[in-house]
Amino acid sequence: MIYTITANPSIDYVLQLDQLKTGEVNRSTNDVKLPGGKGINVSRILKELSIDTTSLGFVGGATGEMFKNLLATHNLKTSFTNVKDDTRINVKINAVKQDIETEVNGTGPSISLEEKDSFMNQLRVVGDGDVIIMAGSLPKQLPDTFYLDIAKTIQKQGAEFIIDTTGQALLDTLSSHPLVVKPNHHELAELFDVEFKNESEIVEYARKLLDLGAKHVMISMAGDGALLVSKDHAYKANAPKGTVINSVGAGDSMIAGFVGAFMETGDPIESFHIGAACGSATAFSQDIAVKEKIDQVYNDITITNID
């Protein structure tokens, strides 16, 4: 079983307008409310790929009920921990003619020790053959080591893990050997305080993450495609042609495609191909991509060995 953890889920209120004028009244041309959170996005993509998951996380208050109602339309298996405080609302503004996206994210609920313990008790069922994908920010009162503590716990029970994070938090996970990490090329450069002049340097520093313990490294490069790097080989996925409508969830979709395929096939190259297709298909969609779009984009992607 694949478990996704979204510790700080949200209602994503996505607004589209022609231009964003600060300090003035703006009127949207379109708006939609979506169940948000990086782990939720992963579960939704895996559902499109006919792979079952169980979504875990903290939800609470009136907005928590609204969140669960929005999520119910996607027929996901969930086991949320109810908390006293309200689930947050994030506002995403897409100014089409300016080609800019602006986000205002809520802070989320405070989690009590009792609520945290209730959540941790659910992890006792995780074991051999399972994988946990942890993604997104943490709500208040949870320690910065929350995800890493979970990883260490479930590893003792025989499960694999992925933590989708950046910076020092990413580096701290590597000695526990995550199944895959996926920084973008800017985040990778920031990790090592360097500037990349070419693709070969990106591959070189991706392999440093392998040396530190990661099992696979994917690097997303926006319009330049993506890389999958191992100690012996490096592969590139081209960026398929399409109009980027909403980049929210694209990285989550890429991880979902890779992990879902890898758990079924054990083939990192095919998993990378599917992951790249999922990421681009979501970027070309207003919401998380559907299977038809993923299949279409998959056929436009070629995986090349660049060693």
Give catalytic residue positions.
252
Chain CA centroid to CA 281, Å: 14
Evaluate whether 45 touches 124 at the Cβ level (below 8 Å): no
Chain CA centroid to CA 213, Å: 20
Closest CA relative to residue 274, chosen from 283, 266, 262: 262
> What is the C-alpha separation between 96 and 98, in angstroms, rounded?
5
Alpha carbon distance, N-terminus to C-terminus of the chain: 34
> What is the C-alpha separation between 157 and 152, in angstroms, rounded?
9
DSSP H or E run through 103: strand 100-104
> What is the C-alpha separation between 136 and 203, in angstroms, rounded?
25
